[in-house]
């Protein structure tokens, strides 16, 4: 079965085609402003160059972020619109999971970080080893510890400190703020490798293909981004009681 | 870059020869809507999911909340529109979507959905101007207006006087220089503590009041201009309301509404005289206002002008009006590539 992966959570928009054997095609391009304009034409081009038609796609896996609200909605609306016409399932995959999959070490932890600006990141912590409290993402390969959060950097540093483990960083949040974690926690923090800064749609597709969820038809309706943060109007309303 | 400009590949059996069947999608503000319209005039379905109850507690449309709602609602609204029309995707001539003007974050949800659906279903795509849609709501009921005509478009974001000599030809004669008419209703209602949205609450309150109670200022612009300015009126109403706490709010509301309608009517009928046309068309959400409808009907009759006003459900944001424009653009030979983008300030 062909899986189409889409991720538009960050400045690097990605699309990919995979099957049971692995990757068939992948495109990653930078630029928030062009995501709406170019996403569908690029999917059309990638399919054509791969000798495939959109009807061959049996699953759409869409990155849920967290990240740019508008960027995420472009990817999710596109993926849901395709699935609605194709009559195939669509699954939402946290982009933080995909970032972790590319960087997770055999020993120690990986912390995926997406830049939320203003000294905040969207973050989650993962291990390659299963444990009772962990959530399975990819069997035998990736387990999430705790939830998806938007901590201030101080809070995140304290949380990583508590683990006592070596922590590999991944994501553009790590590229922006990783040095602050290193200053605080020293050599236990491994800086993000250049190839692990941006999420890859191929890994969204891979996780989507192994995830058990298969919402289709009207069930794709509730598929929405991992916003984590409320709109500023709601935050203000909450503050004002 | 490959784009999707081909004609529909499906064998279209439902639609008679020479007719079209367009799916419209509209997400430019706080209504998520999808509709199926035959040949630009016959509404087979027009599903509108309004978010007004969600935005009410914020006293206005919150763009981020509107965008989130659109993403949750759009697929279901489209499915419902197709089902209610008894239409399959393969029956369609194409998919039309509002690509501006509007809230950019809200527009992108509808556009991304429409592009994905058009691509997957191999259907032509058209990006439609929301304000053109409001005007074309008049073609969704009979009798349709004949050309040429003058159109007054009044909504929350726009107050325009447009001359149309023929289909899809828009000559902007005048526009507001500050607030749109709908915006003035909202701001005045908020300042008077009447709630949101302002149009309906002021309309209801004004029905109980005396419109001659207060003589609010009507902005005078330079001779011959068809432009509007409502900020002076807004300020005058707020000042009056604050310094006259004992005057019944019904009277203030009725006098304010009379002032707005006076200005709208003066410009619209003068534009008809200026252009020598005997047809006037109203469009946009503010055209629901009962005083405006009454006043325009009376003055049109007195002047011998043929007046067209859409039914209230077609005045508010809806996708049927978008599908109607698509029909006429398609007949002209238009189609848009899959690179279609949002334009928050798209001009007519």
In this prediction, residue A111 carries a pLDDT of 98
Please name which of B97, B256, B251 lies closest in space to residue B185, comparing C-alpha atoms. B256
Per mean pLDDT, which of A21-35, B210-224, B260-274 is the most reliable?
B260-274
C-alpha–C-alpha distance, residues A54 and A48, integer Å:
9
- Residue pair B289/B265 in contact (Cβ under 8 Å)? The answer is no
Assess B331–A contact: CB distance below 8 Å, yes or no: no
Whether residue B278 is predicted with pLDDT greater than 80 in this model: the reply is yes
Mean pLDDT of chain A: 94
User: Which residues of chain B lie closer than 8 angstroms to A48, CB-CB?
Assistant: 2
Please name which of A40, A28, A24 lies closest in space to residue A172, comparing C-alpha atoms. A28
- Which ranges of A50-187 does DSSP label H, i.e. alpha helix? 69-86, 95-103, 153-163, 172-185
**pLDDT above 70 coverage of chain B, percent:** 95
- Residue pair A142/A126 in contact (Cβ under 8 Å)? The answer is yes
Res. A217 pLDDT band, cuts 50 70 90: confident
User: Which residues of chain A lie closer than 8 angstroms to B65, CB-CB?
Assistant: 231, 233-234
C-alpha–C-alpha distance, residues A6 and A54, integer Å:
14
C-alpha–C-alpha distance, residues B25 and B283, integer Å:
19
Whether residue A233 is predicted with pLDDT greater than 90 in this model: the reply is no
User: Which residues of chain B lie closer than 8 angstroms to A33, CB-CB?
Assistant: none
For the beta sheet containing A135-138, the strands, ordered from the edge strand earlier in sequence to the opposite edge, are A135-138, A142-149, A120-127, A109-117, A167-170, A189-190
- pLDDT of B178-217, one tens digit each? 999 999 999 999 999 998 899 999 999 999 999 999 999 9
Q: What is the mean pLDDT of residues B251-280?
A: 97
Nearest Cα of chain B lies from the Cα of A173 at a distance, in angstroms, of 23
User: Which residues of chain A lie closer than 8 angstroms to B67, CB-CB?
Assistant: 69-70, 73
Q: Angle B249-275/B181-191 helices, nearest 10 degrees?
A: 170
In this prediction, residue A214 carries a pLDDT of 83
A77: nearest CB among B4, B109, B120: B109
CA nearest to B64 within chain A: A231
Interface contact B112-A39, CB threshold 8 A? yes
Assess B113–A contact: CB distance below 8 Å, yes or no: yes
pTM exceeds 0.90, yes or no = yes
CA nearest to B73 within chain A: A221
Q: What is the mean pLDDT of residues B1-26?
A: 62
Interface contact B341-A237, CB threshold 8 A? no
Whether residue B138 is predicted with pLDDT greater than 90 in this model: the reply is yes
- pLDDT of B77-112, one tens digit each? 999 999 999 999 999 999 999 999 999 999 999 999
Interface contact B115-A81, CB threshold 8 A? yes
In this prediction, residue B9 carries a pLDDT of 40
A84: nearest CB among B62, B71, B117: B117
User: Which residues of chain B lie closer than 8 angstroms to A53, CB-CB?
Assistant: none
- Residue pair B237/B198 in contact (Cβ under 8 Å)? The answer is no
In this prediction, residue A33 carries a pLDDT of 65
Whether residue B325 is predicted with pLDDT greater than 70 in this model: the reply is yes
User: Which residues of chain B lie closer than 8 angstroms to A45, CB-CB?
Assistant: 1-2
Please name each of the domains of chain B with its CATH number.
2-136+315-331 (3.30.420.40), 146-309 (3.30.420.40)
C-alpha–C-alpha distance, residues B332 and A217, integer Å:
35
Assess A235–B contact: CB distance below 8 Å, yes or no: no
Three-state secondary-structure class, residue B225: coil
Nearest Cα of chain B lies from the Cα of A156 at a distance, in angstroms, of 27
Whether residue B6 is predicted with pLDDT greater than 50 in this model: the reply is no
Assess B342–A contact: CB distance below 8 Å, yes or no: yes
Res. A34 pLDDT band, cuts 50 70 90: confident
Q: A30-36: long-range contacts (C-beta < 8 A, 24 or more apart)?
A: A32/A68, A32/A70, A32/A71, A35/A8, A35/A71, A35/A74, A35/A75, A36/A74, A36/B108, A36/B111, A36/B112, A36/B341, A36/B342
Bridge-based pairing of strands B31-38 and B42-50 is antiparallel
Interface contact B71-A73, CB threshold 8 A? yes
Q: What is the mean pLDDT of residues B51-69?
A: 91
Interface contact A237-B89, CB threshold 8 A? no
Assess A1–B contact: CB distance below 8 Å, yes or no: no
For the beta sheet containing A22-30, the strands, ordered from the edge strand earlier in sequence to the opposite edge, are A22-30, A12-19, A2-7, A57-63, A90-93
A81: nearest CB among B4, B117, B340: B117
Residues 82 through 141 of chain A touching chain B, CB cutoff 8 Å: 82, 84-86
User: Which residues of chain B lie closer than 8 angstroms to A36, CB-CB?
Assistant: 108, 111-112, 341-342
Here the tokens at position B5 are 């400009």
Interface mutation target, options A81, A85, A234, chain B, most CBs of B under 10 Å = A81
Question: Does the ipTM exceed 0.90?
Answer: yes
What is the residue-wise DSSP string for A155-169?
HHHHHHHHH-S-EEE
Interface contact B339-A227, CB threshold 8 A? no
Whether residue B220 is predicted with pLDDT greater than 90 in this model: the reply is no
CA nearest to B111 within chain A: A36
In this prediction, residue A240 carries a pLDDT of 57
Bridge-based pairing of strands A57-63 and A90-93 is parallel
Interface contact B120-A81, CB threshold 8 A? yes
Three-state secondary-structure class, residue B110: helix
């Amino acid at each position: 079965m062909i899986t189409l992966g889409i991720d538009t959570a960050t400045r690097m928009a990605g699309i990919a085609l995979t099957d049971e054997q692995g990757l068939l095609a992948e495109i990653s391009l930078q630029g928030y402003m062009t995501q709406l304009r170019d996403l569908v034409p690029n999917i059309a081009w990638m399919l054509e160059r791969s000798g495939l038609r959109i009807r061959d796609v049996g699953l759409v896996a869409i990155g849920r972020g967290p990240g740019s609200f508008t960027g995420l909605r472009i990817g999710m609306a596109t993926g849901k619109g395709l699935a609605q016409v194709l009559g195939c399932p669509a699954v939402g995959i946290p982009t933080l999971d995909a970032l972790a999959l590319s960087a997770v070490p055999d020993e120690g932890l990986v912390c995926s970080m997406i830049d939320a600006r203003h000294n905040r990141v969207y973050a989650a912590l993962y291990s390659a080893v299963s444990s009772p409290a962990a959530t399975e993402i990819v069997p035998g390969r990736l387990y999430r510890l705790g939830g998806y959060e938007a901590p201030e950097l101080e809070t995140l540093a304290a949380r990583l400190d508590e683990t006592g483990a070596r922590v590999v960083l991944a994501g553009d949040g790590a590229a922006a703020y990783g040095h602050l974690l290193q200053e605080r926690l020293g050599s236990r923090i491994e800086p993000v490798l250049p190839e692990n800064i941006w999420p890859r749609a191929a890994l969204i597709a891979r996780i989507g293909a192994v995830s058990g969820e298969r919402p289709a038809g009207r069930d794709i309706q509730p598929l929405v981004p991992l916003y984590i943060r409320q709109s500023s109007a709601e935050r203000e309303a909450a503050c004002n009681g | 870059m490959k784009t999707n400009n081909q004609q529909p590949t499906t064998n279209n059996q439902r639609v008679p020869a020479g007719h079209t069947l367009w799916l419209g999608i509209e997400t430019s503000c706080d209504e998520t809507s999808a509709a199926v319209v035959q040949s630009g005039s016959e509404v087979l379905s027009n599903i509108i999911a309004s978010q007004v109850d969600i935005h009410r507690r914020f006293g206005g449309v919150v763009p981020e909340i509107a965008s989130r709602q659109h993403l949750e609602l759009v697929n279901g609204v489209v499915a419902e529109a197709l089902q209610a029309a008894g239409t399959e995707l393969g029956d369609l001539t194409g998919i039309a979507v509002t690509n501006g003007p509007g809230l950019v974050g809200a527009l992108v949800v509808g556009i991304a959905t429409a592009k994905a659906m058009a691509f997957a279903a191999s259907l032509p795509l058209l990006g439609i101007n929301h304000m053109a849609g409001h005007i074309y709501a008049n073609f969704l009921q009979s009798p349709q207006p004949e050309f040429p005509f003058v159109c007054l478009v009044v909504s929350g974001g726009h107050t325009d006087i447009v001359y149309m000599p023929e289909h899809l030809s828009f000559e902007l004669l005048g526009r507001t220089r500050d607030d749109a008419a709908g915006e003035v209703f909202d701001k005045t209602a908020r300042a008077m503590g009447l709630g949101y949205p302002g149009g309906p609450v002021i309309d209801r309150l004004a029905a109980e009041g005396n419109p001659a109670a207060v003589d609010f200022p009507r902005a005078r612009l330079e001779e011959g201009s068809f432009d509007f300015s409502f900020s002076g009126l807004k300020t005058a109403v707020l000042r009056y309301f604050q310094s006259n706490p004992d005057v019944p709010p019904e009277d203030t509301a009725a006098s304010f509404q009379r002032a707005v309608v006076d200005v709208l009517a003066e410009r619209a009928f003068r534009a008809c005289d200026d252009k020598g046309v005997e047809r006037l068309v109203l469009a946009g959400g503010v055209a629901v206002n009962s005083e405006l409808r009454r006043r325009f009907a009376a003055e049109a009759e007195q002047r011998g002008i043929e007046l067209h006003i859409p039914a209230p459900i077609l005045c508010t944001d809806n996708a049927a009006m978008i599908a109607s424009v698509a029909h006429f653009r398609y007949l002209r030979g238009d189609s848009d590539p899959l690179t279609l983008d949002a334009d928050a300030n798209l001009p007519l």
